Amino acid sequence: MFRFQSIKPLFLHSKGLTTPFPSTLSLKHFSLTSQQHSFTVSYLIDTFGFLPQAALKASKRVSFDTPQKPDSVIAFFNRNGFTHAHINNIVKSIPNILIYNADEKLSPKFQFLRSKGASASDIVRLVNRCPRILTSSLKNNVIPSFELVKRFLQSDQKTIDCVFGSRPFLRYNVGAQNVDMLLDVGVRDSGIGYLFGRRPSILLSTDLREAIDEVKEMGFDPSKINFVIALHAKRALSKSRWDAKVDAFKMWGWSEEMVFDSFRKHPLLMLVSKDKINEIMRFWVVELGWDPLALAEMLNIFGFSLEKRIVPRGLVVRYLIVKGLREKSAKLYTPFSVSEELFLKRFVMCFKEESSQLLKLYQNKKCFQENREDGVESAS
């Protein structure tokens, strides 16, 4: 049985006595409200499979006594490519969408997004991931948010890619304030474009000033791209995840000071996963037998693919050193930094007698792959 709020009684006065008794109008209101409430609950259960308790909770946010409006909203979503599962997700998030006038409230938003290049599937994906866009003001949030992002990403398509990623649509007021804050401290448009393209949630945080001050205190210049990359790293990582990565480097012989100096030189370093740090270190130290401290002078290597670049090239370079075809004192970074074509030309094909063996070694990563998991476990 559903509980309804008690109705405040009207009092009848007779011969000095005060007797509580509901008026006819009050009883009629109670009856209408009760019927409307019950219909909403039944509709949510029958149409969307709500559990009774969830339906009752949702009915506190929306109520209707006929299926006309909710049916029209469902029909609108169906016409625009939304599945029953999509609609169910939207209704559970914002039940009051069922009493919207779809042509007045929803259609203009879809039309705007289509005018900017969003496909039907783009719109379905965006709304399903962030249903709140349906209740956002087109004039005060959706359009200015889109234009704010476009200012820094320069094109509708890049803006669509940003907005339709696995991220919530921008809250314009917060985003605009944070953009102004970054511009005020000297961050360039390209830096803000970097954040929109890779971590727009940073621009939605309410405590961005604290992170900006922290990164500035670390010595980063706001006018340089490294400033926003460092900001990205500091905002993306919790303290525990940051400390875990520092500990991973220390496990392989780096000091804490080396880690922080390396971060200042190359802030992308701390956006590499702890597992990848351990895998690269293990291959470098255990498989190749090289000094882990040497990697502090070639920090870009942590951004390279382990399987496609670091392992095959590392095996070739080790072979050349062992065979005396390359000096141990030669710079290790060069073979890893050049293009594929140049690597093969300078470190494989130029050695006529060894080229077939080097090419086979370069293409064969099976040995490392078989031992990879054991190494990661021992290093973690």
pLDDT of residue 328: 78
Tokens of 324: 């005396």
pLDDT of residue 166: 58
Q: What is the mean pLDDT of the chain?
A: 86
In the structure, what pLDDT confidence band is assigned to residue 91 with cuts at 50, 70 and 90?
Answer: very high
Task: Spell out the domain ranges in the chain.
Answer: 1-66, 136-236, 240-379
pLDDT of 191 above 60: yes
Tokens of 291: 């000094």
Q: Euclidean distance between the first and final Cα of the chain, in Å?
A: 56
226-239: per-residue pLDDT in tens?
999 999 999 999 99
pLDDT greater at residue 35 or residue 185: 185
Helix or strand (DSSP H, E) at 152: helix 143-153
pLDDT of 180 above 50: yes
pLDDT of residue 162: 84
pLDDT of 325 above 60: yes
pLDDT of residue 167: 65
pLDDT of residue 365: 63
Distances in Å between the Cα of 38 and the Cα atoms of 22, 72, 74, 98, 185 are 22, 20, 20, 16, 56
- The total of other beta-carbon atoms located within 10 Å of residue 248's CB is 21
26-44: per-residue pLDDT in tens?
334 334 344 556 899 999 9
In the structure, what pLDDT confidence band is assigned to residue 351 with cuts at 50, 70 and 90?
Answer: very high
pLDDT of residue 272: 96
What is the pTM (predicted TM-score) of this model?
A: 0.75
Q: Which segment of 104-108, 288-292, 362-366 scores lowest on mean pLDDT?
A: 362-366
* Spatial distance between the Cα atoms of 43 and 174, rounded to a whole number of angstroms: 37
